[in-house]
C-alpha cells in the first residue's frame, strides 16, 4: 500500500493513477475524508486519555497524602471514562474503514509507463530471435503432443473438468526439464531455492496485492485458505513482520510450485490445447532491494534478463512488452511481459511477467530493514516468471516440430531427457 502521508501530499497524482488503472478515483476522496475523521477522533481519544491520566494522578497524590479525593475528581473521572467508552467504538469503525480503503488504493505507475485502458496500449520494447520458417504447414501443439502420446486432454477433462489435462511420457519429462533448467540457471545466479506453501492465508494474499482485487480469480477452501496462482506469494511474504539489515540485501529467492487460477472471464478463450489451464507449474524469482528506485529498477532489468536468457538458450523467438497502466496489476509500479512465438497461431503469446513495486508490498507485509545510517525503511520488492509450463512446453513443441511430426529436443534440455528427438514409438 501507499504511505498515507504520500497520498495526503499528492491526492491528484494518486487519483490519476487510480483512474489510469481502471479503478474508481473516488476511492481516494473517500480515503482522505475517512482519514480526516480518523485523525480527529484519534486526537479526541488521546486528549480524553490524557485527562483521565491526569485526573487519576491527582487522585493518587491526594490518597498518598492521606486525604480523601474530592467528589468532583471522582465524578470527573467517571465522566471522562464514559466519554471514552462512547467515542472509542466510533474510532474503531472509522479505523476499519480507513484500513479497507487504504488497501484498495493502487500503486502509482512509474513515469515511463504508458497510459492505456487495455492491452492495446502496451508497447513493444524489442523482438529477439528468428521466427522459424517451415516448408510444411506447422501443426498446433495439441495435435503434435497427442500424436506423440505426450498429453491426454480427454481423460484430463473427464477426471478434472474443463481445462483439465494429463502430461504423459516425454510430455511430462520435457515439462520437468524446462522447470529444472530454469531453476538451475537461477541457483547459479545466487538465488536461494525454496519450496513454498501453495495454500496460504488471506494476509499473505492481501500483503502481496492479490487481494482485495481479483478475489474471484482464486480457489478457496472451506477454511478460507487460498490456493496461490504463483509462488510469488509465498516467497514475498516469507519475511513478513521481520526487520532485516541493509547488509542482508539484496535477497534473491526462487520458488518452484504448482499454481492454480480460475481463469474467470476467459470463457471461450484458448479452449483447445494447454495454453490456458487451471493448474500449471512455475519457477518464480523474487528479489528484495534497498529502498532506492534506481536500484530496484536496475534489478527489474536484471531479472527480466534472466528470463530472456532462458528463452535465448531455448532458441525461442520472443518479444518484450512494456505494459500500460490499464493492463498491469493494481500494486505494480512497472511491468514487462515477455511473449513467445507460437507458429501454429502465427502470433506471440505471453509466457513471462516481470514487475517491481517499490515498498507497496513491503508496507502491507511489514517487511523492513535497518539502513546503514540506523534508520528503519521498507524493502522494495520485485518478481518475475522464470518459466511457466505447460505454456512454455507448448511453445517448444510448436517451434521444434519436424515435417514427420516428431519434436526436436532443445539442445540445452537433451541432458535431462537423454534424447535428441521425441518421435512416435513403433
The residue annotated as part of the active site, out of 97, 263, 350, 423, is 350
406 is catalytic: no
The residue annotated as part of the active site, out of 276, 309, 349, 423, is 276
Q: Are 181 and 307 within 8 A, CB to CB?
A: no
Residues paired with 226 in a beta bridge: 200, 220
For residue 104, the SS3 value is coil
Distance in angstroms (rounded) separating the CA atoms of residues 231 and 26: 33
The residue annotated as part of the active site, out of 257, 353, 355, 389, is 353
- Selection from 379, 380, 357 nearest residue 107 by Cα: 357
Backbone angles phi, psi at 370, to 5 degrees: -90, 120
Burial string for 177-190 (b: 16+ CB within 10 Å, else e) reads bbbbbbbebbeeee
For residue 373, the SS3 value is coil
- Selection from 390, 353, 385, 352 nearest residue 164 by Cα: 390
Distance in angstroms (rounded) separating the CA atoms of residues 323 and 329: 10
350 is catalytic: yes
For residue 71, with 0-12 CB atoms within 10 Å meaning exposed, 13-18 middle and 19 or more buried, which class applies? exposed
Query: 401: which DSSP letter?
Result: B
The residue annotated as part of the active site, out of 15, 38, 163, 261, is 261
261 is catalytic: yes
DSSP string, 369-389: EE-TTS-EEEPEEEEEEEEEE
Q: Are 310 and 295 within 8 A, CB to CB?
A: no
Q: Are 200 and 211 within 8 A, CB to CB?
A: no
33 is catalytic: no
163 is catalytic: no
Cell digits of residue 250 = 539484496
Which positions are annotated as active-site residues? 261, 276, 350, 353, 391
Amino acid at each position: 500500500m501507499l504511505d498515507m502521508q504520500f497520498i495526503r501530499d499528492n491526492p491528484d497524482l494518486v487519483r490519476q493513477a487510480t483512474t489510469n488503472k481502471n479503478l474508481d478515483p473516488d476511492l481516494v476522496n473517500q480515503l482522505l475524508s475517512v482519514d480526516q475523521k480518523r485523525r480527529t477522533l484519534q486526537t479526541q481519544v488521546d486528549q480524553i486519555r490524557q485527562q483521565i491520566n491526569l485526573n487519576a494522578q491527582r487522585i493518587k497524590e491526594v490518597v498518598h497524602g492521606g486525604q480523601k479525593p474530592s467528589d468532583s475528581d471522582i465524578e470527573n473521572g467517571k465522566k471522562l471514562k464514559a466519554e471514552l467508552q462512547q467515542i472509542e467504538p466510533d474510532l474503531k469503525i472509522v479505523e476499519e474503514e480507513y484500513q479497507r480503503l487504504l488497501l484498495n488504493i493502487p500503486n502509482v505507475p512509474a513515469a515511463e509507463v504508458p497510459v492505456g485502458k487495455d492491452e492495446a496500449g502496451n508497447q513493444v520494447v524489442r523482438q529477439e530471435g528468428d521466427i522459424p520458417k517451415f516448408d510444411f504447414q506447422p501443426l498446433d501443439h495439441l495435435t503434435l503432443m497427442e500424436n506423440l502420446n505426450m498429453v491426454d486432454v480427454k481423460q484430463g477433462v473427464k477426471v478434472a473438468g474443463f481445462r483439465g489435462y494429463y502430461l504423459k511420457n516425454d510430455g511430462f519429462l520435457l515439462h520437468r526439464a524446462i522447470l529444472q533448467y530454469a531453476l538451475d540457471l537461477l541457483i547459479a545466479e545466487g538465488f536461494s531455492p525454496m519450496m513454498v506453501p501453495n495454500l496460504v492465508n488471506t494476509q499473505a494474499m492481501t500483503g502481496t496485492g492479490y487481494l482485495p482485487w481479483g478475489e474471484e480469480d482464486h480457489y478457496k477452501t472451506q477454511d478460507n485458505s487460498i490456493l496461490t496462482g504463483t509462488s510469488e506469494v509465498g516467497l514475498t511474504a516469507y519475511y513478513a513482520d521481520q526487520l532485516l539489515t541493509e547488509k542482508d540485501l539484496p535477497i534473491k529467492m526462487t520458488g518452484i510450485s504448482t499454481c492454480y487460477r480460475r481463469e474467470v472471464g476467459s470463457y471461450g478463450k484458448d479452449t483447445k490445447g494447454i495454453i490456458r489451464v487451471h493448474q500449471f507449474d512455475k519457477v518464480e524469482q523474487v528479489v528484495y532491494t534497498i529502498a532506492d528506485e534506481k536500484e530496484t529498477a536496475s534489478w527489474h532489468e536484471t531479472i527480466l534478463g534472466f528470463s530472456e536468457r532462458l528463452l535465448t538458450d531455448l532458441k525461442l523467438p520472443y518479444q518484450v512488452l512494456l505494459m500500460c497502466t490499464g493492463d498491469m496489476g493494481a500494486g505494480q509500479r512497472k511491468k514487462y511481459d515477455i511473449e513467445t512465438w507460437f507458429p501454429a497461431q502465427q502470433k506471440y503469446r505471453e509466457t513471462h511477467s516481470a514487475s517491481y513495486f517499490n515498498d507497496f508490498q513491503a508496507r502491507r507485509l511489514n517487511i523492513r530493514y535497518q539502513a546503514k545510517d540506523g534508520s528503519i525503511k521498507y524493502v522494495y520488492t520485485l518478481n518475475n516468471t522464470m518459466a511457466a509450463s505447460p505454456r512454455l512446453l507448448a511453445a517448444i513443441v510448436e517451434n521444434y516440430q519436424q515435417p514427420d511430426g516428431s519434436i526436436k529436443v532443445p539442445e540445452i534440455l537433451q541432458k535431462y531427457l537423454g534424447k535428441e528427438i521425441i518421435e512416435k514409438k513403433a
